[in-house]
Amino acid sequence: MLIKTVLDWVIDANTCFLMGAGCSQCAGKPLMGELTNKVKKALKDSKAIIENLYGAYARSATVEDLINYLLRLRKLISCQKNPNYEGWTIEKIDDEVAVIQSEIIRAIGTEWRGSETHRQFLMRLADNPSRKTCDIFCLNYDTVIEASLEELRLPYTDGFRGAENAYFDPSLYGQIPGNGPYFRVFKLHGSVNWIRDADETVRRRPAMAVEDRRRAVVYPAEQKYVQTQYGVYETLLSLFRDRLREDRPNNKLVVIGYSFSDEHINVAIEDSILADGSNLTVYGFVGPEENKEEQEKRLREMAARCDDRFNVFIGQHAYISSSIEPDEWETIKELDLWKFENLVNLMVGGDQ
């Protein structure tokens, strides 16, 4: 009975998904810590900065923290008569961000290749005849989801119109074909195949040389500093909020491969749960962190603000949920559902 309950959370036609970098590990992509370490090896001027930065929730700073810091610094010094701070100029910051972006691409790779695990995940969702759309919000920069959809020939949009020089057009998310499940992919933190061209249009192009300095890989979180220039991210975050607040029966968000370490994403989730008329329920499958007590404390505080509609299962050591009983946790923890491939295995074979 418990397995069927978990499957109902995941496969239901009213479920949408938030997928982090952990979901791409099975496809050979680096986790954020590994990605940060690879990028740090190529840094020069900003290596001292990242070593001195606090990361989210007292963890080590990541490459995202570094980019956010540099963008904030760029915004601040652009207001000065002499735009220079301890040797950092706008040009120097732009050059450093370009280096970071190139190294992110080198670490992640630009090959257009799906994975068997992702294909099984998508096919299982497509098998639900009552599903009109399937919304997948991605925090990772790779293209595994898109490539897997194309390998399966499943209809989808990623918000870009065109092919070789596609441009971002958010109206595409509202154009839903009438036949079969339609997948909508929202890359909330950007993608390795995005660039920003000379007139500031965000475009998606086929795999290109990493030396392309106009590539707009990741400007993830600091919208209050960069939203005018990089408004595509604010648009995508608004679409995320809108989807979470849709008036659907049993509206659900399943979170996998994400550690709840992005304040903007967390606030969007909390606000959507607490919005007037909302019936959103969240189910998160989270891997254990080094400081397990601090991780559990942080997530319990988040759950306490969410009116008992925030359920999180942390590795094999803790759960925060009113949806299951303690004896049921003993069963579910053995499944290690925080590993994407295990969740997919359950989806494929759990109801047989």
Main-chain phi, psi angles of 11, to 5 degrees: -95, -15
Main-chain phi, psi angles of 181, to 5 degrees: -65, 135
Burial letters for 121-146: b for 16+ Cβ neighbours within 10 Å, e otherwise?
bbebbbeeeebebbbbbbbbbbbbbb
Compute the chain's Rg from CA coordinates: 20
How is the chain split among helix, strand and coil, in percent rounded to 5?
45, 15, 40
Mean pLDDT by 10 residues, the chain (352 residues): 86 96 94 92 89 83 89 88 88 87 87 96 92 94 96 96 90 86 93 81 72 53 43 89 93 96 92 94 94 92 92 94 88 93 91 48
Sorted by where each begins, the domain ranges of the chain are 2-30+111-160+171-191+227-349, 33-108
Fold of 2-30+111-160+171-191+227-349: Rossmann fold (3.40.50)
pTM of the model: 0.91
The pLDDT, as a whole number, for residue 221 is 38
DSSP of 123-190, one letter per residue? Answer: HHHHT-TT-SEEEEEE-S-S-HHHHHHHHHT--EE-SEESSTTEEE-GGGGG---SSS-EEEEEETT-
DSSP of 260-293, one letter per residue? Answer: S--HHHHHHHHHHHHSTT---EEEEEEPPPSSHH
